[in-house]
Chains A and B, each alone.
Chain A
């Protein structure tokens, strides 16, 4: 099946710094990408939907200035957590949708210390 790669798989950063997470569709073009967040022992919550070449649509309660999403090409979307705080520590997962369906990345575990 189609492969979606997230990088990095895990990252530890200091409070106040910014972290960029990449989501790549390796063998298909993704017209739409979704970013989810999963707190420990909780379910996944959709953060935002991004379409290539346009601004992302954020879910209610998600700060767009804090979670910057860029979908500059059909194979790459990035999520930047700006001025990270410990409460941003979470598991972030992207989903990329192409003509053959949608597939999830392996996730990125972010720990802010």
Chain B
């Protein structure tokens, strides 16, 4: 069975500092990987996705993620965090390409941004 682990439940970062969110997955086939952001009381917004090809994926809002098959990881990064990036971030793995399909989500990482 597929599973996704986000080891960090909370991360606090200063505005302007860099951010990295960890995601490890367990999957028996070629994984399709996604990162979503959820602002308080809101639905999910897709940040980026990886299907194949270049292992460094660029997303919206200045985020990027790198797929490392040898480490079964898909970590999310942003070079300089803005206060508006405070939210909860979910990594997800799916069997097929379309985002928002039958996905398995990680437990989420809540990001707090200090002024």
Does more than half of chain B's interface fall in helix, strand or loop, or is it mixed?
loop
Give the contact-size bracket for chain A.
Answer: 20 to 34
**Looking at chain B, what size class is its interface with the partner chain?**
10 to 19
Q: Which residue of B lies closest to A46 (CB)?
A: B102
Contact A107 B41 (CB under 8 A): yes
Please name the residue on chain A nearest to B45 by beta carbon: A104
Residue of B nearest to A33 (CB): B100
CB-based contact A93/B43 at 8 Å:
yes
A93 touches B101 (CB 8 A): no
The digit string for B16-47, where 1 denotes a CB below 8 A from any CB of A, is 00000000000000000000100001111100
Interface 9-mer from B51-59, B70-78, B79-87, B105-113: B105-113
Which of A12-20, A61-69, A94-102 is the interface stretch? A94-102
Q: Which of A32, A44, A46 has the most chain B CB within a 10 Å cutoff? A: A44
Contacts of A107 in B (CB 8 A): 41-43
* In the complex, B90 has a CB within 8 A of chain A: yes
Contact A93 B108 (CB under 8 A): no
> How far in angstroms is the closest Cβ of chain A from B59?
14
Q: A43-B90, A43-B105, A46-B103 are in contact. Are A101 and B42 (CB under 8 A)?
A: no
- Could you tell me the dominant secondary structure of chain A's interface residues? strand
In contact, B106 and A43 (Cβ under 8 angstroms): yes
In the assembled complex, the CB of B54 is this many whole angstroms from the nearest CB of chain A, namely: 20
A43 lies within 8 A of B100 (CB): no
In the assembled complex, 17 residue pairs joining A and B whose CB atoms fall closer than 8 Å, in A order, are A4-B43, A6-B43, A9-B41, A43-B90, A43-B107, A44-B90, A45-B105, A46-B103, A97-B98, A97-B101, A101-B99, A102-B99, A102-B101, A104-B44, A104-B45, A105-B43, A109-B41
Report the 5 A-B pairs with minimum CB-CB distance, sorted nearest first: A102-B100, A95-B100, A106-B43, A104-B44, A104-B43
Q: Which B residues are closer than 8 A to A by beta carbons?
A: 36, 41-45, 90, 98-108
